[in-house]
Structure 1
Amino acid sequence: MNRIILNETSYFGAGCRSVIAVEAARRGFKKAFFVTDKDLIKFGVAAEIIKVFDENKIPYELYSDVKANPTIANVQNGVAAYKASGADFIVALGGGSSIDTAKGIGIVVNNPDFADVKSLEGVADTKHKAVPTFALPTTAGTAAEVTINYVIIDEDARKKMVCVDPNDIPAVAIVDPELMYSMPKGLTAATGMDALTHAIESYITPGAWAMSDMFELKAIEMIAQNLKAAVDNGKDVVAREAMSQAQYIAGMGFSNVGLGIVHSMAHPLGAFYDTPHGVANALLLPYVMEYNAESPAAPKYINIAKAMGVDTAEMSEAEGVKAAIEAVKALSLSIGIPQKLHEINVKEEDIPALAVAAFNDVCTGGNPRPTSVEDIEALYHKAF
């Protein structure tokens, strides 16, 4: 049996943020709890949403206690602020950090038995849907607006908690590429490679099936065609819009079939060093693809290569594997992604602890090749 869970409603296209007012009115909502981060306020992106609130006379409470890798405290402080605000729905603007924080807030408000937040790790048995949330991504990567996953840092344990809960999916996704125009080159590159990682990992996970394969191959194709253009010219409207759609399409798949050890290995890097998630994924992806080529997923690599724009006519399976890995490396290099862990200040002496944390990550079970702490440790060393 296969399952697909998606948003109730999704909007796409330049300027579609205006539908916040339409959807709020249709659902009878009176006051918004606006979750975003301080950088989006500083650079004027949050002002675009506040303008919608003001023009439509929607009262709102602003909450910006959001870290790049959101913490338990960010969620708990947000729960208290939401309860004090009198709001009846959440509007989340940002990358995965803001939207993940909003998901945690929305779940805990309606499921107070999980107020310690730590109990949400893994597949949480919540009983009630989160506070209705409108999610507006500002990066073309995480697809947090369409997934049933969110990630919160347990700072005391130096651990990224991956939380999986169908009750957390935003009610409305509003994917407006105009909100992504201000992304700097480095963030555009990292989040775009994050989306590619989502697409490739979920395409080869054992849980993949016809519908998820359809999503992921299209996402790979669109990312391969548009990511470099979006990085090179942030005002390239066509590339920005394509990337905004591609990352959402990838999310439609991975949210429902899972990921693998690229994510398992990336999560501890965020917990230990506050490494940006997209950078960690992008760096690790080729190494893990090579490792996973020795698995039942190997025949699918030729399709990845083809979606990446490689002429795969008359290629053997082995040639297809090599072509897929090389195409991913070439794209990564072309947009300035670091290629070794030492370049992003990972400490070699931490690798054994990183490997244990990665092996215990919820994403490990979705890897197409059974793995071990020792295998993951060897991969970290290879990438170092």
Structure 2
Amino acid sequence: MMRPMKLAGSELMFGKGSLEYIKTSVYCKRAIIVIGGKSVEKNGTLAKVEEYFHANGAQTTVFKGVEPDPHFATVKAGASVMAEWQPDLICALGGGSVMDAAKTMWVMYEHPELDTLDKILSTKPLPKLRAKARFMCIPSTSGTASEVSRSVVISDDETGHKHGLGDMEMMPDIAIVDPLVSCSMPAHVTAETGMDALTHAIEALVSNRANYVSNILAIAAAKDIVTWLPKAYADGNNMEAREMMANASMTAGLAFTNVSLGIDHSMAQTIAGFFPMAHGRICAILLPYTIEWNSQDLRAKQIYTDFAALIGTDNLAQYVRELNVAVGIPNCIRKIVPDRDAFMAVLDEMARLSLADGCTKTNPIIPTIPQFAELIEKAYLG
């Protein structure tokens, strides 16, 4: 079925210094800024964002404490602050977890009747937003592309399992992608988020919804990521590399939010719900295995072969393995989760949940539960 594409919200700003757009062009009366830990405070980004809002006549307040892999309890707490503060603009300043949590807070702020995670996940399509507030994202990492994405991933408070939801209504109105905001990322975060972006691009390429426009975006993003990620990883002060990674991550996001992803993300989201780990790290470990699995499909195999030729290799899976080594990412899950018995005890459940994940339906070939289990075990053992 043909689907309309949406390439970001109404305002997309990118490039060095683009944060100043707030001061000149983002009009609101009351802005709430949602952040995670202390990094955006320590590096002065939060103060600069508040300064720019104030210069444009807006009042600001800050909601702090969004954790990695945010839980619904955090979302509820943020929505409660919004209900009291009554902002007309919500600004997510941080990585993917902050942006995903803030989007979900926005849904609850606009529609207080959606007061449980189950209600939000089961309401399709989502009701209209923007009656109370517009939504803006300022990413501090180069990987998740939530600033141009219709998707969120939120963890269940009781089980810790991750649940994804996608709806074009959640596309941010304003995205400001300034590489200066990401320049303080430590090397391991640069690697993990960068490999997440590469996974977005490669999965979008072989998605069964892929199209002419999404392919142009995904190919350009993937080519730039394999070129510039090692440079950004080696030298975090290389502003050319930072800017190219910020732009490539955003571009990969424009592709995948329109054509969806595949089983790499299905498995990554599931496994990390049982054994907490950085999302980009598990995506990176799984990527060579999913490329090899999907190569059973002749269409996907040809796409991988054509892209591999563009970057000067004849084996894309092996290329990704070598790239992982170059940016300090292990080659198997066992190196992150050494307790083999604990991992194998939930293998079948992880396989079942991976099959049920929304990203699976756009994969070139859909594994059975036993095939998912075999694939996850292979990635575990290496």
Task: Tell me whether 1:358 sits opposite 2:354 in the alignment.
Answer: yes
Which letter does structure 2 place at the counterpart of 1:39?
K
The match for 1:301 is 304
Count of aligned pairs: 370
The match for 1:32 is 31
Relative to the length of structure 1, the TM-score reads 0.93
Q: Map Cα deviations across residues 45-75 of structure 1 (whole Å, 9 max, x no partner).
A: 3233223234444211100131110111111
Mapped contact 2:24–2:56 kept (Cα < 8 A): no
Of 325, 336, 344, the residue aligned with 2:336 is 344
What 5-or-longer segments of structure 1 have no aligned partner? 312-319
Task: Tell me whether 1:160 sits opposite 2:152 in the alignment.
Answer: no
Q: Find the residue that maps to 2:163 and give its secondary structure.
A: strand
The match for 1:47 is 47
Q: CA deviation at 1:22?
A: 2.7
Which letter does structure 1 place at the counterpart of 2:3?
N
Larger displacement relative to structure 2 (34-43 or 171-180): 34-43
Which letter does structure 2 place at the counterpart of 1:345?
V
Mapped contact 2:94–2:141 kept (Cα < 8 A): yes
Which letter does structure 1 place at the counterpart of 2:319?
A
Superposition pairs of residues 260-339 of structure 1, within 5 angstroms: 260-295=262-297, 296-307=299-310, 309-310=311-312, 320=314, 323-339=315-331
Of 242, 251, 262, the residue aligned with 1:240 is 242
Q: Map Cα deviations across residues 264-283 of structure 1 (whole Å, 9 max, x no partner).
A: 00002222222111011011
Task: Tell me whether 1:214 sits opposite 2:210 in the alignment.
Answer: no
Superposition pairs of residues 47-126 of structure 1, within 5 angstroms: 47-121=47-121, 124-126=124-126
Distance 2:352 2:214 in 1: 30
Superposition pairs of residues 107-256 of structure 1, within 5 angstroms: 107-121=107-121, 124-130=124-130, 131-256=133-258
Relative to the length of structure 2, the TM-score reads 0.93
Distance 1:191 1:16 in 2: 21
Larger displacement relative to structure 2 (348-357 or 199-208): 348-357
Q: Find the residue that maps to 1:173 and give its secondary structure.
A: strand
Distance 2:38 2:269 in 1: 23
Distance 2:42 2:205 in 1: 36
Distance 1:207 1:109 in 2: 32
Mapped contact 1:121–1:164 kept (Cα < 8 A): no
Which letter does structure 1 place at the counterpart of 2:261?
L
Q: Percent identity?
A: 31
Q: Find the residue that maps to 1:235 and give its secondary structure.
A: coil
Q: Find the residue that maps to 2:26 and give its secondary structure.
A: helix
Q: CA deviation at 1:157?
A: 3.1
RMSD: 1.5
What 5-or-longer segments of structure 2 have no aligned partner? none
Larger displacement relative to structure 2 (152-161 or 279-288): 152-161
Distance 2:308 2:363 in 1: 19
